């Protein structure tokens, strides 16, 4: 990944990004991070309209600006088009994915899939977690309803049992009351087991969202890249362009 390349080059910072093209309009997305920690230091994007040779000039200027220094006048004079810059939205992170999955099962996995251009595995996980937990929740609701109904029957039969005077009726009502009470206990036990399982699945859903959340290495696969590195010896940025072939 870019951080490993930066470590091999012995530089402190690297800028990883991508270029998009629509007609004569180019979009440049860039993020500068520290090689040692991998922490993002600054993010920017820019929209350039003009000839393609002017695009390289804008990338060079962007590199200077992201390092917090003013680009040389000679470089600024080479501009051939118009450029608009704005801050990029906050990068997508594993923590954000975990928080989303904690709120809605599978949301974090869907968030990861969207961050990785609709990556299919994360999208499938999102469906499985959401459908699984919703299905378990529906079963839990049915068990809870059955438990309440059985408790109501138990109280009703017990009240009738206390008011009964004939021996056959007393035995029948006692049997019905005991059966309803046993049904209520059975539903309660099943509900408890299901809630434990549902809690475990939901916890796994959160952990999976965090462990497999969007990161720089995953997002950089199969994309055209521009890598801008700051050389402390030359005291200036350097530019590389690469295309993944796999």
pLDDT digits (tens, 9 = 90+) for 75-132: 888 877 676 655 545 667 889 899 999 999 999 999 888 766 667 888 899 999 999 9
Q: What is the pLDDT of residue 239?
A: 52
Among 114-118, 133-137, 212-216, the range scoring the smallest mean pLDDT is: 114-118
Instruction: Note whether 126 and 200 are same-domain residues.
Output: yes
Instruction: Note whether 190 and 112 are same-domain residues.
Output: yes
User: What's the domain count of the chain?
Assistant: 2
**Residue 29: both structure tokens together:** 């997305």
**Residue 216: both structure tokens together:** 């720089």
Instruction: Note whether 85 and 151 are same-domain residues.
Output: no
Instruction: Note whether 63 and 133 are same-domain residues.
Output: no
Instruction: Note whether 207 and 220 are same-domain residues.
Output: no
Instruction: Note whether 62 and 161 are same-domain residues.
Output: no
Instruction: Note whether 174 and 239 are same-domain residues.
Output: no
**Residue 103: both structure tokens together:** 């709120």
Long-range Cβ contact pairs of 141-147 (< 8 A, separation 24 or more) = 143/187, 143/190, 143/191, 143/194, 144/187, 144/191, 146/183, 146/187, 147/184, 147/187, 147/188, 147/191
Which phi and psi (to 5°) does residue 166 adopt? -90, 140
Q: Is 82 left (phi over 0), alpha (psi -120 to 50) or beta?
A: beta
Give the SS3 label for residue 18: strand
Point out which residues pair with 236 in neighbouring strands. 231
Residue 73 has pLDDT above 70, yes or no: yes
What does the pLDDT look like over 143-170, one tens digit per residue? 999 999 999 999 999 999 888 888 888 8
**43 in Cβ contact with 30 (< 8 Å):** yes
**Residue 67: both structure tokens together:** 């390092």
Which phi and psi (to 5°) does residue 208 adopt? -60, -40
Instruction: Note whether 46 and 80 are same-domain residues.
Output: yes
Instruction: Note whether 111 and 30 are same-domain residues.
Output: no
Average pLDDT for 217-238: 51
Residue 221 has pLDDT above 50, yes or no: no
Instruction: Note whether 149 and 58 are same-domain residues.
Output: no
Q: What is the pLDDT of residue 246?
A: 43
Instruction: Note whether 72 and 113 are same-domain residues.
Output: no
Q: What is the pLDDT of residue 182?
A: 94
pLDDT level of residue 192 (50, 70, 90 thresholds): very high
Residue 199 has pLDDT above 90, yes or no: yes
CA torsion angle 143 147 152 153 (round to 10) = 90
How many residues are present in the chain? Answer: 246
Instruction: Note whether 120 and 133 are same-domain residues.
Output: yes
CA distance 71 to 159: 89
Identify the domain containing residue 49 by its residue range: 2-92+216-243
Q: What is the pLDDT of residue 44?
A: 78
């Amino acid at each position: 990944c870019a951080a490993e390349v930066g470590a091999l080059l012995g530089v402190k910072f690297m800028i990883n990004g991508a270029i998009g093209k629509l007609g004569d309009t180019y979009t440049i997305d860039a993020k500068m991070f520290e090689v040692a920690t991998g922490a993002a230091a600054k993010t920017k994007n820019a929209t350039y309209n003009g000839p393609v040779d002017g695009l390289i000039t804008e990338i060079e200027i962007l590199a200077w600006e992201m390092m917090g220094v003013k680009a040389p006048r000679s470089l600024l004079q080479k501009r051939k088009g118009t450029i608009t810059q704005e801050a990029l939205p906050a990068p997508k992170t594993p923590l954000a994915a975990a928080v989303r999955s904690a709120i809605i099962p599978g949301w974090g996995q869907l968030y990861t899939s969207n961050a990785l251009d609709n990556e299919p595995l994360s999208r499938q996980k999102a469906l499985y977690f959401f459908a699984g937990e919703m299905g378990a929740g529906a079963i839990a609701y049915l068990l809870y309803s059955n438990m309440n109904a059985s408790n109501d029957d138990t109280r009703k039969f017990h009240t009738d049992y206390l008011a009964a005077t004939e021996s056959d009726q007393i035995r029948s009502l006692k049997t019905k009351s005991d059966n309803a009470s046993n049904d209520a206990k059975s539903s309660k036990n099943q509900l408890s087991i299901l809630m434990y399982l549902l809690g475990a699945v939901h916890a796994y859903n959160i952990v999976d969202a965090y462990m497999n959340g969007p990161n720089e290495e995953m997002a950089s696969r199969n994309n055209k890249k521009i890598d801008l590195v700051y050389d402390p010896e030359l005291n200036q940025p350097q530019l590389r362009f690469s295309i993944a072939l796999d």
